[in-house]
């Protein structure tokens, strides 16, 4: 057996979140072979449940990889060398999409804002031209907690440029924040398993509009990075490669749970935990980071203390693991999840611990 801490601390990071109980039970079910009618029925059921998650009646599929890979696959599969894409960039993850777009040979136009600031709709609109083919948006910047008004931005952008393909990094939003792929006219949305779905990291679910599907290009080669293969196979419930059957069991269990509880109730849980925690941080004299902060996590600081020290105390004395800042925010903030099971209770629990730590700090 792997040598792990016997009493693992409570993971409150904004992904990965702890596996839910239904997911744990599902993961170890007997593996079925993937070239069977039983697998095809199962996978079609999963893709149908994923439609509910994304609030779409269009195409869904599942890819093996992290959330980053899901977004990279969308960019690689939907756009061609030399095409222009506009990217809202205000944190570590959106920065990744700009670098990747350049790497792909796309003309990448970044709409830059300082890390943590929200990106105003007007700034995106100003950057778009009739030549812009794609718009890459990060719904919630996990590195800073900043949330985009996705509905408004996409509405404004598509009203002016209906041919745009809008790709949304919904990694830390779908399943935690209100998200309506079809109603908001999103063309490609990506969520990662280890976030609101409370699953092991290793898969991403993707929702694609008809326009997105129409711009996929088949290749003779297998090419793991081409979404066309996944979509083509998904239409009959099959998978282009050996699918991660055990992980799909876990996803199916989570999606069924979400359907059963209902998205509005789940979104409300995140919202309430977020509100409680953010109020608590302000009451402790701290700051909540992120312009229009997201309800899926809180990025925060506290007055006159090193946030890395605070995180060390939380783990050592209170058995709670929070994430730190990334890139230029290293050491300056801590980040806590409000997704999945890390709800109001976890928020209160953590606030209590923070209060205790601050009381002891001279």
Interface residues with its own copies (CB under 8 A) are 1-5, 8, 11, 13, 15-19, 22, 24-36, 38, 42, 45, 64-69, 72, 96, 99-100, 102-103, 192, 194, 200-203, 219-225, 241-247, 249, 252-253, 256, 321, 323-324
CA distance 269 to 289: 20
**46 closest CA partner among 256, 219, 203:** 256
CA dist list (Å): 241 to 63, 109, 233: 10, 34, 10
Q: Which is nearer to its own copies, 79 or 161 (CB)?
A: 79
Residue 211 C-beta: closest distance to its own copies, Å: 24
Q: Which is nearer to its own copies, 5 or 214 (CB)?
A: 5
Q: Which is nearer to its own copies, 99 or 283 (CB)?
A: 99
CA distance 71 to 98: 11
Residue 359 C-beta: closest distance to its own copies, Å: 26
Q: Which is nearer to its own copies, 121 or 341 (CB)?
A: 341
Alpha helices, H only, 33-192: 37-54, 67-78, 92-103, 121-127, 150-160
Q: Which is nearer to its own copies, 8 or 183 (CB)?
A: 8
CA dist list (Å): 246 to 22, 69, 70, 187, 192: 13, 20, 19, 28, 16
Q: Which is nearer to its own copies, 58 or 246 (CB)?
A: 246
**Which pair of tokens denotes residue 336?**
């806590």
CA distance 58 to 72: 21
Residue 337 C-beta: closest distance to its own copies, Å: 11
Residue 134 C-beta: closest distance to its own copies, Å: 16
Residue 16 C-beta: closest distance to its own copies, Å: 5
Q: Which is nearer to its own copies, 24 or 238 (CB)?
A: 24
Q: Which is nearer to its own copies, 114 or 218 (CB)?
A: 218
Give the up-direction half-sphere exposure of residue 118: CA atoms within 13 A in the CB hemisphere. 17
The pair phi, psi for residue 167, each rounded to 5°, is -105, 125
Detail the DSSP E strand segments found in the chain.
10-11, 59-64, 84-89, 107-112, 132-138, 140-141, 146-147, 165-169, 188-192, 203-208, 287-288, 297-301, 320-321, 323-324, 334-337
Q: Which is nearer to its own copies, 203 or 209 (CB)?
A: 203
CA distance 190 to 56: 13
DSSP state for residue 30 in the 8-state scheme: P
Residue 88 C-beta: closest distance to its own copies, Å: 17
* 154-170 burial: b if 16+ Cβ within 10 Å, else e: bebbbeebeebbbbbbb
Residue 195 C-beta: closest distance to its own copies, Å: 9
147 forms beta bridges with 140
Residue 291 C-beta: closest distance to its own copies, Å: 24
Within 10 angstroms of residue 283's Cβ, the number of other Cβ atoms is 10
Residue 72 C-beta: closest distance to its own copies, Å: 5
**Which pair of tokens denotes residue 263?**
């998205």
Residue 82 C-beta: closest distance to its own copies, Å: 17
Q: Which is nearer to its own copies, 120 or 175 (CB)?
A: 175
């Amino acid at each position: 057996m792997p040598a792990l801490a016997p009493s693992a601390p409570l993971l409150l990071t904004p992904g990965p979140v702890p596996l839910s109980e239904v997911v744990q039970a599902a993961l170890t079910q007997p593996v079925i072979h993937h070239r069977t009618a039983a697998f095809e029925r199962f996978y079609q059921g999963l893709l149908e449940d994923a439609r509910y998650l994304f609030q779409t009646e269009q195409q869904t599929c599942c890819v093996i990889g992290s959330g980053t890979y899901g977004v990279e696959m969308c960019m690689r599969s939907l756009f061609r060398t030399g095409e222009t894409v506009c990217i809202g960039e205000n944190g570590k993850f959106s920065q990744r999409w700009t670098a990747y777009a350049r790497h792909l040979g796309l003309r990448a136009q970044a709409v830059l804002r300082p890390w943590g600031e929200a990106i105003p709709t007007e700034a995106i609109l100003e950057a778009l031209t009739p030549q812009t083919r794609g718009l890459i948006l990060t719904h919630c910047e996990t590195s800073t907690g900043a949330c985009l008004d996705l509905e408004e931005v996409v509405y404004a952008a598509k009203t002016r440029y209906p041919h745009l393909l809008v790709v949304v990094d919904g990694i830390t939003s779908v399943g935690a924040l209100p998200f309506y792929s079809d109603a908001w006219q999103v063309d490609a949305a990506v969520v990662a398993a280890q976030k609101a779905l409370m699953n092991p990291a290793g898969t991403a679910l993707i929702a694609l509009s008809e326009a997105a599907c129409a711009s996929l290009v088949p290749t003779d080669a297998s090419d793991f990075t081409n979404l066309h293969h996944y979509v083509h196979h998904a239409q009959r419930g099959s998978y282009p490669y050996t699918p991660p059957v055990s992980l799909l069991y876990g996803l199916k269990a989570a999606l069924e749970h979400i359907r059963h509880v209902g998205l509005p109730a789940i979104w409300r849980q995140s919202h309430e935990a977020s509100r409680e925690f953010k109020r608590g941080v302000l009451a402790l004299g701290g700051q909540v980071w992120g312009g229009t902060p997201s309800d899926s996590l809180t990025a925060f600081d506290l007055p006159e203390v090193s946030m890395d020290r605070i995180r060390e105390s939380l783990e050592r004395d209170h058995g709670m693991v929070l994430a730190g800042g990334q890139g230029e925010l290293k050491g300056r903030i801590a980040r806590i999840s409000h997704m999945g099971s890390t709800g109001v209770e976890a928020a209160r629990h953590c606030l209590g611990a923070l209060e205790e730590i601050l009381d002891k700090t001279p």
